[in-house]
A and B are shown apart, each in its own frame.
Chain A
Amino acid sequence: MKRFFDAELETFRSHLVLMGETSIRQVRDAIRALVEADISLADRVVAADDEVDQLEIKIDDEAIRYMNLRSPVATELRFVIVGMKASHDLERVGDEASNIAKRAAKLAAEPPLKPYIDIPRMANIALEMLRDALDCFLHMDSDKAIAVVKRDSEVDAINKQLYRELTSFMIEKPGTISRAIELMFISKSIERIADHATNIAEEMVFLAQARDIRHTDELKKSTLS
């Protein structure tokens, strides 16, 4: 049976989709601004962060209103709560995109320290994780969500490897220090984005199975190390 307010849940869902797509686009553009040394693209990413923030406010408002007036229970209640949490994660993803873009703009003024290979590769994994997490969030596919959680360690491994590499650059040539530090921060931002994707995936498992898998060892078994 359809209820007259079911459309509100659809609106909520569509705002989450939009927020997910917007944050993914922001991260992709920030990385492209870095690789292509495109200052104006970097500036656009920073300016567009407000879109993500506004969507978070809208989603919170819709969730609170829905809980107040519609008294959701069971799956529906979990959907609204998890949607709200996912929107906080996406907002942080947007912030990281904006941080990456700011550093990309600074780095664009100098010659690249090294060819950008690992960073885009790492960003691609983080973005795939984010896309999969959102996808299973919308399709209630908890198997896929568990796969996302397991990939977190891939990103962690690349981040660590980059740290080692950049540290050795700094030791050998002190002139590279400021650029290496920017890249370390960018790498850390990408690692954080993967963490947010992981959070969303974990929330997804709660949505589908009413089971909290956070801070348990059940899924943290590294696939790489």
Chain B
Amino acid sequence: MPAAISPTMERPSAQPTAPALAVSAAGTAASAAARTIIDIDHVDFFYGPSQALHDVSLKLDEKKVTAFIGPSGCGKSTLLRCLNRMNDLIDGTRVAKGSIKIRGVDIHGPQVDVIELRKRVGMVFQKSNPFPKSIYDNITYGLRLQGVKDKSRLDAVVEKSLRGAALWDEVKDRLHTSGLGLSGGQQQRLCIARAIAVEPDIILMDEPCSALDPISTSKVEELIHELKKQFTIVIVTHNMQQAARCSDQTAFFYLGRLVEFADTRTIFMNPANPQTEAYVSGRFG
């Protein structure tokens, strides 16, 4: 079942399909069949006086995995955090130009409730950050905040989310022990379970595997592959093989600008921009 869409964000069948036009000067056309879910349009972003994003335009497709790649400091995390307005939590930040629409709704529009937005656009961080609570409470935290008290409903969500995050079998007998007692890879999957428990529409992942060993990494990658049937995923990664394996589309950023956006196959087989090619072949510097 696709995640329910909140009333404020909903644009049912009126949502037009993405036009098969260039996404940006640097990007390639989105396929006409896929639906645009996130529409980033000429965004300039500032941390106080310093500009971190320059005129970024990007249309992301529904139920696809999009990878953001690029050298450190190029603005990947900044852009990711723009998508659920996590940057609002940092003083002095602003989107100075352009707009970001999710399902056609401007996320900076007056009708948008930020809490609701973050529920629809969940986030998984580089360093797994379970709350110092039981596995069960970690997962039900969001729902309880929403006022859900029904035990059988909470139980069902816990099982569904843990299964969704491929963690159920490993923890089903210790749901009431601390989330911090899990291994790094398990903690990261717990955070993914927590993110999917509130049935978001979009999941943002910022280097979700950078602290994981190869086995946990491949479990998370498997999971991403499963999750995209239901969610739209944006993943930031420094691991080129991971981007190549997991994503459908890849965006390459450099110095706060989008350099190239295309099907992952194109980015790794035959990128249009020499900077992209240099970066994916490890010749950048």
Contacts and interface: CB of A to CB of B under 8 A. Distances in A.
A74 B282 contact: no
Interface in A69-83: 71-78
Interface in A30-88: 71-78
Interface residues of B, number: 15
A72 B281 CA distance: 6
A74 B283 contact: no
A3 B282 contact: yes
Interface in B229-282: 240-241, 244, 268-271, 277-278, 280-282
A74 B284 contact: no
A224 interface: no
Contacts of B277: 74-75
Given A73-B240, A74-B277, A210 B270 contact: yes
Contacts, number: 32
Contacts of B285: 1
B281 A73 contact: yes
Interface residues on A, range: 10 to 19
Of the listed residues B271, B280, B282, B285, the one surrounded by the most CB atoms of chain A closer than 10 A to its CB is B282
A73 B244 contact: yes
Contacts of A78: 269
B269 A76 contact: no
Given A210-B269, A210-B270, A73 B280 contact: yes
Given A74-B277, A75-B277, A1 B283 contact: yes
A210 B240 CA distance: 20
Contacts of A76: 281
Contact of B281 (A2, A74, A209, A210): A74
Interface of A: 1-3, 71-78, 209-210
